[in-house]
């Protein structure tokens, strides 16, 4: 029997911060005269801050100096930080804690695998730090999802092989990254958008104990 590992994305999976990222990008897009819809935002999910700005500028056909690019990055982040400044436990998505508790009680290691450089401060705000045996965030990775780097580092940190790990993701890029890493992928959100995932749920309230038990057995049986 192999050791299983659970890896969770943060924004849009554990907490509802995906909406704040969207609002902050939309504010900057408005300022730059670029139309930015929720559909456009799907491409920004799971993707590093820098890559998001590159995508936005491509949408508006805008080329800028490095200095201006960095100022806009900073502006977006400051705006985002304002949105999340008052965050607390109430912003943990429904039944996430129930699932984390269940996995923790089983003694299965858990890691965070997020592209965000704000991940640790968010986990502290919502008091979830203690659940995670390892945290891999945007400060530690060089390649953005769909590159599997973030999840491969997470698996290593919790001492599990990639094929014995499962990833919970709300982003298309994240599901791709998990699939490339050879991990089991669980899409959280619109199952039509996340159709490449091995399993899909609208949210954690749909995930029951039977599913988790079967998943653990499956992960532990893979070599």
Under rule CB under 6 A, residue 179 binds ligand BG6: no
The dihedrals phi and psi of 104, each to the nearest 5 degrees, come to -65, -45
Residue from 48, 164, 179, 185 in contact with ligand BG6 (CB under 6 A): 48
How far out from the chain centre does Cα 128 lie? 15
Q: Is 84 in the site for ligand BG6 (CB under 6 A)?
A: no
Q: Which two tokens stand for residue 178?
A: 């998990």
C-alpha–C-alpha distance, residues 143 and 48, integer Å:
9
Q: Are strands 165-169 and 5-8 parallel, antiparallel or unpaired?
A: parallel
Task: Please state, in angstroms and rounded to a whole number, the distance separating the CA atoms of residues 154 and 163.
Answer: 13
CB of 11 to ligand BG6, least distance (A): 4
Shortest gap between Cβ of 152 and ligand BG6 (angstroms)?
17
Q: How near is the Cβ of 222 to ligand BG6 at its closest, in Å?
A: 27
Among the residue ranges 26-34, 113-121, 159-167, 212-220, the one whose residues contact ligand BG6 (CB under 6 A): 113-121
Residue 146: cis peptide before it, omega within 30 degrees of 0: yes
Q: Residue 46 CB, nearest distance to ligand BG6 (Å)?
A: 5
Catalytic machinery residues: 9, 11
Report the nearest approach of Mg ion to the CB of residue 72 (Å): 22
Q: Which of 103, 108, 114, 185 binds ligand BG6 (CB under 6 A)?
A: 114
Near ligand BG6 by CB under 6 A: residue from 171, 172, 181, 215: 171
Please state, in angstroms and rounded to a whole number, the distance separating the CA atoms of residues 36 and 42.
11
Question: What crossing angle do the helices spanning 18-31 and 49-59 adopt, rounded to 10°?
Answer: 40
* Binds ligand BG6 by CB under 6 A, chosen from 6, 8, 36, 116: 116
Q: Which residue in the set 4, 6, 20, 21 belongs to the binding site for ligand BG6 (CB under 6 A)?
A: 21
Q: Rule CB under 6 A: is residue 77 a binding residue for ligand BG6?
A: yes
Total of chain residues touching ligand BG6, rule CB under 6 A: 18
Give the pair of three-digit tokens for residue 156: 């290593």
Tokens for 223, please give them: 């070599």
Radius of gyration of the chain (CA): 17
Q: Which is nearer to ligand BG6, 4 or 96 (CB)?
A: 96
d(CA 80, CA 76): 6
Binding residues for ligand BG6 (CB under 6 A): 10-11, 21, 44-49, 52, 77, 114-118, 138, 171
């Amino acid at each position: 029997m192999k050791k299983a590992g659970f890896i969770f994305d943060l924004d849009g999976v554990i907490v509802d911060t995906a909406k704040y990222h969207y609002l902050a990008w939309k504010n900057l897009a408005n300022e730059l005269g670029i139309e930015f819809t929720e559909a456009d935002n799907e491409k920004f999910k799971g993707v590093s801050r820098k890559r998001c700005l590159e995508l936005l500028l491509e949408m508006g056909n805008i080329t800028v100096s490095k200095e201006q690019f960095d100022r806009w990055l900073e502006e977006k982040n400051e705006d985002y930080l304002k949105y999340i400044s008052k965050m607390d436990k109430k912003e943990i998505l429904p039944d996430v804690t129930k699932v984390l508790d269940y996995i923790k009680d089983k003694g299965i290691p858990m890691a965070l695998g997020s592209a965000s450089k704000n991940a640790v401060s968010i986990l502290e705000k919502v008091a979830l730090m203690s659940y995670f045996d390892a945290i891999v965030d945007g400060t530690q990775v060089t390649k953005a999802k769909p590159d599997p780097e973030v999840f491969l580092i997470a698996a290593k940190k919790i001492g599990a092989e990639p094929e014995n790990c499962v990833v919970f993701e709300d982003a298309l890029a994240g599901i791709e990254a998990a699939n490339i890493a050879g991990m089991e992928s669980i899409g959280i959100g619109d199952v039509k958008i996340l159709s490449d995932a091995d399993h899909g749920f609208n949210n954690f309230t749909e995930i029951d104990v039977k599913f988790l038990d079967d998943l653990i057995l499956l992960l532990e049986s893979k070599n």
